[in-house]
Each structure stands twice: as structure tokens, then as C-alpha cells.
Structure 1
């Protein structure tokens, strides 16, 4: 009689409900990396937040660098899709920019540039290039929105790609706080409206 075939060490059983285990791990990892940065996150922390064993995390992502890459690409792809969805909604381009700004500011930010710089020595040239491609895709998605607004004669914009970069840079101002009780803006909604209003004065017809 043959002995039953064993599963590879650490391989979790498939989830019957909700997300696949790999996606659950990625969601937990992206939350931790964004909030704490690469160096401060351990595979144990990811396992605990995911509700799986550490062996399960290693089964899907053999190294922390691979987990970091997969989770960051997941985040960037999600943000890209979210921007696309908002840009396709009815209403003015200005209202859609406010919606994008509000969504961005609701997510705790550890600035992507700073995070990637700190972890760069862990990444292969191919991994670094992949992050750059996914990040640039966000600007290209926003550029499409600015281009459409120009065609619809809602705005005047000679370089939509630069406008997209300026918009994202301005969003970082919305996160500015001096202490926990002393922020530049009283709320996310106020920040989104203020930033877009400032940008709008330079591009509206």
C-alpha cells in the first residue's frame, strides 16, 4: 500500500472563502511595508497579520525581498487600476482629480522613492527596473486623464506628463504634519480640495 503523498513543507491548504492565501499574504505584507518600511518588517509579522504560519509565507515567497517586490507591484497595480476607474467616471475632470487625491491621502504613506532607495541594494537590476516600470505606469495613466481633459477643452496643458508628476508631488503636501495634533490640513477632504484648487488655477480654461 502506497503512503499518501505529502504536501511540501509549509504549503497551506487552499482557502475555501475569501482571497487565496498568497493574496492574503501580499495584502498583509504591503500594509506592513508601507507603514513600517522594508527593514522593520519581519516574515513573522507578515505571518501573524496574514493569519498563516511563517512556513506558509516562505512557501509562497522564499525571501523577504521577493515578498517586498510582489507586494509593492501588487500595490502599484491596484493604484493604477483605481486611477483608471476614477478617470472613467462621469463628472468634471476637476472632480475626478479631487477623488484621486482623496483616495491617495487615505492610504498611510511611506514615500515610495525613499523606500526603494533604502532597499535598492537588496534588489537585482531587473527588480529595480520592474518597480520603475510600474511606477511610471501610474504617471502615464494620469497623463491619459490630463490629455482627455485637454481634448474636452476643460484645461490648458502643454505637457500632460509633467502635469501628472506635479500633481503627484503636490499630493505629498497633503500628508504634511508637524506633530500628531498639528497638521497642515484639518482633514483628508480639505487637503484634496485645497491641492486640486491650487493646481486648477494653473490649468483650467
Structure 2
């Protein structure tokens, strides 16, 4: 008589939508950390967002800092992949930059540098370097985009990496919100067009 297959004790069940539990946790945690910041997020909140037990969270991520680092790495990886995808699409560099900006502004987020400073005291040197490495990857991808636009004579730019940093700094303007009813821009699209137009005046040929 055959016995039914059993999963290892303590291992959480894969979620019904087909995503592995670990990835579901990372997606939920990254959204919560970006929305609320490190201190305001608990393992209970992540478990509730995923619809699983807190024990399942600890199975994959023994500490909150490990979950934080893994989830932010996941977010930065996805953002980097999306930027590359948009940079490779047809159209002018200006139109692609507007799409990148609009995509960025649609994601609710706490300012990355401020969040890193908030959680820095909880992280090991290795964890801090990991986050810096993945954040720098975004700037490298944007730098490559600006370099390609220089080669195609769409823009004039002596230092593409510096331009990438300036561009990212400008993105924070698009996030500016005075209260729940008063915002600087009526939509992400309006913000994206205004930000890129301002940058474009300094780099177009």
C-alpha cells in the first residue's frame, strides 16, 4: 500500500497563485518597507499581507533585517530590469526617459537614502555594501542610457554618471505631496513630462 507524499515538516506551502512563498514574502515586504519605512513594519504585517503565518516568514527570513535587505534587493533588481527594458524600447530617448520617470513615480515609496540611514544601525557592513551595490546598479544602467543617447547625438553630456545622479535627484520632486489633497503635480504623467523637460533643457543638442 502506497503512502501519500508528505512535504518536509515546517516548510510553508506554496501560494495558490503559483509564486513561491519566499517570493510572495519579498514582494509584500518590499511594498510595506517602501510605503512605511523600516521601523513601522512588523513581521506580523508582512505575514498578514501575504496571508500566511508569521512562522512562515521566519522560516525563510530569520530576522527583520535579513528580510529588509532581501526585499530591497528584490525591488532594486526589478526596477533595474524595468529601466533596461524601457531603454531598449523604440522611440526617442526623451520619450523613453518620460516612461521611466512615470513608472518610477507610480510606485509608492519612502526616500531610499532616508530609509537606509534609518536602518543602517541594524545592518552589518556586508548588508550595507549589498544594498549600496544594487543601488549603484541603477545609476550604472541609467548612465549607459545617457551614454547611448550621446552616441546617437540626441543629447550632449560630458559626464553621463553625474547626469544619472542628477536625474534621480529630480525624481524626488515628482513625489512631493503637501497633504492628502494638495500635490505638486496632478498626475504621474504630468510630473514625468515636467521633470524630463527641465532636465532636457540642460542636455539636448
Shorter-chain TM band: over 0.9
Residues in 1 aligned to 2:26 and 2:7: alpha-carbon distance in whole angstroms: 26
Aligned to 2:181: 181
User: Which SS does the other structure have where 1:67 is aligned?
Assistant: helix
Aligned to 1:59: 59
In the TM superposition, what are the counterparts of 1:31-42 in structure 2 within 5 Å?
A: 31-42=31-42
**Structure 1 unmatched runs, 5+:** none
Cα 1:5/1:101, change in 2 over 3 Å: closer
User: How far did 1:157 drift?
Assistant: 0.2
Aligned to 2:156: 156
User: How far did 1:17 drift?
Assistant: 4.0
In the TM superposition, what are the counterparts of 1:136-147 in structure 2 within 5 Å?
A: 136-147=136-147
Residues in 1 aligned to 2:189 and 2:14: alpha-carbon distance in whole angstroms: 40
In the TM superposition, what are the counterparts of 1:14-29 in structure 2 within 5 Å?
A: 14-15=14-15, 17-29=17-29
Aligned to 1:93: 93
Residues in 1 aligned to 2:164 and 2:145: alpha-carbon distance in whole angstroms: 9
User: How far did 1:137 drift?
Assistant: 0.4
Residues in 2 aligned to 1:63 and 1:79: alpha-carbon distance in whole angstroms: 24
Aligned residue pairs total 201
What is the aligned-residue RMSD (CA, Å)?
1.3
Which deviates more from structure 2 when the two are superposed, residues 178-187 or residues 122-131? 178-187
Q: TM-score, normalised by structure 1?
A: 0.95
Aligned to 1:13: 13
Residues in 1 aligned to 2:56 and 2:176: alpha-carbon distance in whole angstroms: 38
Q: TM-score, normalised by structure 2?
A: 0.95
User: How far did 1:191 drift?
Assistant: 0.4
Cα 1:190/1:117, change in 2 over 3 Å: same
Residues in 2 aligned to 1:137 and 1:191: alpha-carbon distance in whole angstroms: 24
